[in-house]
Structure 1
Amino acid sequence: MLLVIDIGNTNVVLGVYRGKELVDFWRIGTDKDKTSDEYSVLIDQLFSYKGLERRKVKDVIISSVVPDLMHSLENTVIKLFGVNPLIVGPGVKTGMNVKYDNPRQVGADRIVNAVAAYEKYNGPLIVIDFGTATTFCAISSQGEYLGGTIAPGIKISSEALFQRASKLPRVELIKPGKTICKNTVNSMQSGIIYGYAGLVEQIVKKMKKEFKSNGVKVIATGGLATLIDSETQCIDKIDKFLTLDGLQIIFQRNEEDRQKKIQEKQAR
């Protein structure tokens, strides 16, 4: 089995694959202060709770946008599974040509999402990931990563409003059902959710114009994708496992090359 790990600023998401089948997945809070021993205990408990055998995990791949956590998670993988994980980054084959001015500046999560989206839905595409930040990524019909937009995530926006305005409370992210609201909580919910839906629609509209081609599909992922999708007409499909699938695809592409090299050495 293959264990895939996506380390984000808010959550660490883990998935277990048997071939191309996602067997199970978990979402845990990102904690830079946790040691490798603490993460080892937590992940071991997750496997036990689901009745999965750790010894059956033969390979691990990790993508991360939190450098401070990489040392702990790498050590955790080595301790628990006895393998050195494949880390998504420079030198790892993704099969995608990145057209960014500096390709090293593109977050690993954005590339992983783009790889999965193109593999599953073809192009041209816009991929929206509703995470700590909300990212909009453009992929051409030839599978090139063209670039994109980064906006503050909806939770960040909500939290900033609470922290910076002394009389405004922290609110639950649910739709109030109207915009002419009669209390402060509903008024804030309206501004946050409906305002954010407008942000998404405007960025997608402008990106589609820049594509200068028809048939651009919009794929969304991330925990709050469903909430925003219900208030817009611009999202074609929600794929909550997009990042995990992208890690599985990238691992297979690199595993094929590794096996070829092994066979070439054996043939000499």
Structure 2
Amino acid sequence: MEQEFKAVVVDAGNTRIKVGLFQNHDLQEVRRFSNDELDKLKSYLIKYKNWPGIISSVRSDKNTKWIKGLLPNAMLFSHELPVPLTNHYESPKTLGIDRLANAIAAANISEKNALIIDVGTCIKYDFVRYPQIYEGGSISPGMELRYRAMHDFTGKLPLVEDHLQGPFIGKNTLEAMRSGVMNGMHLEMVGFIEEYRRLYPELTIFLTGGDSQYFELGNKYGIFADENLTLKGLLIALLHAQTTFSSGI
């Protein structure tokens, strides 16, 4: 009988930490923790301290080390780990590891070229050319950054902290700001999709990220919406690294 496989996967982003529990390669549970819930995160992770795992973190070295201390059997996902992907990025060490994890997942799922749109603190567009060749992409400000920039760099615009859509033509300042941010992000994503589809007609599109839920891109693009794409990419990276190290490659 095949031995049961379990793993804990941690995606530590700038504003939230997501933890996924995998059993026999299937995602069984996902928990999210804000920056104010680190005590809850500690209590949760301590239950899985003996599990194999992988940690992706864009946080400070101090915070990353703290998370690693809670999971001594987990490896850190970094550019030094072998990955099942050819990386054509000109500065691979500066490539965000969350972008790399998304690319790994998309390359594993798609049987043609893939575009990943990750909507979070920033909007990240990443292109994987079939088969399993990461080419690069684009980065633009996400929702919170756009609202905060308008507030911080003007004298009178308020800080908007909601996710309301608002009308297309704003009739007051708040509506105008919501229209600019929400419709601007939507039209930006549609523009990227249409240009990628023009360049690469055979294209699978993935939508992920914590703020992707606020945007409806419709069915016309055949989009795979998966808020846990990063976690799945990290699991694939973990399995590939374990296989590589055990074979002595």
TM-score by length of 2: 0.87
Q: Shift of the alpha carbon at 1:251?
A: 0.8
Length, aligned pairs only: 242
Unaligned runs of 5+ in 1: 32-37
Q: Percent identity?
A: 24
Q: Which among 174, 185, 193 is matched to residue 164 of structure 2?
A: 174
Which is worse superposed, 232-241 or 136-145? 232-241
**Residue of structure 2 equivalent to 1:29:** 34
* Contact 1:4–1:247 (Cα < 8 Å) also in 2: yes
Q: Which among 36, 40, 44 is matched to residue 42 of structure 1?
A: 40
**Residue of structure 2 equivalent to 1:70:** 64
CA distance in 2 between partners of 1:70 and 1:29 (Å): 15
- RMSD (Å) for aligned C-alpha atoms: 2.4
Q: Shift of the alpha carbon at 1:29?
A: 2.2
What is the identity, as a one-letter code, of the residue corresponding to 1:6?
Answer: D
In structure 2, the CA distance between the partners of 1:96 and 1:131, relative to structure 1 (3 Å rule), is same
**Residue of structure 1 equivalent to 2:202:** 215
Q: Is 1:236–2:241 an aligned residue pair?
A: no
Unaligned runs of 5+ in 2: 1-5
> Which structure is larger by alpha-carbon Rg, 1 or 2?
1
CA distance in 2 between partners of 1:60 and 1:96 (Å): 20
In structure 2, the CA distance between the partners of 1:234 and 1:167, relative to structure 1 (3 Å rule), is farther
* Contact 1:220–1:235 (Cα < 8 Å) also in 2: no
**Residue of structure 2 equivalent to 1:34:** none
Question: Which structure 1 residue ranges, 4+ long, deviate > 6 Å from structure 2?
Answer: none
In structure 2, the CA distance between the partners of 1:231 and 1:180, relative to structure 1 (3 Å rule), is farther
Q: CA deviation digits over 1:187-234, x for unaligned, max 9? A: 21111101111111222333334xx43221211101121222347955
Bigger share in helix:
1
What is the identity, as a one-letter code, of the residue corresponding to 2:55?
Answer: I
CA distance in 2 between partners of 1:108 and 1:222 (Å): 14
CA distance in 1 between partners of 2:200 and 2:42 (Å): 48
What is the identity, as a one-letter code, of the residue corresponding to 2:90?
Answer: D
In structure 2, the CA distance between the partners of 1:164 and 1:26, relative to structure 1 (3 Å rule), is same
1:154-169 to structure 2, matched below 5 A, reads 154-169=143-158
CA distance in 2 between partners of 1:180 and 1:216 (Å): 33
CA distance in 2 between partners of 1:137 and 1:124 (Å): 11
**Residue of structure 2 equivalent to 1:115:** 104
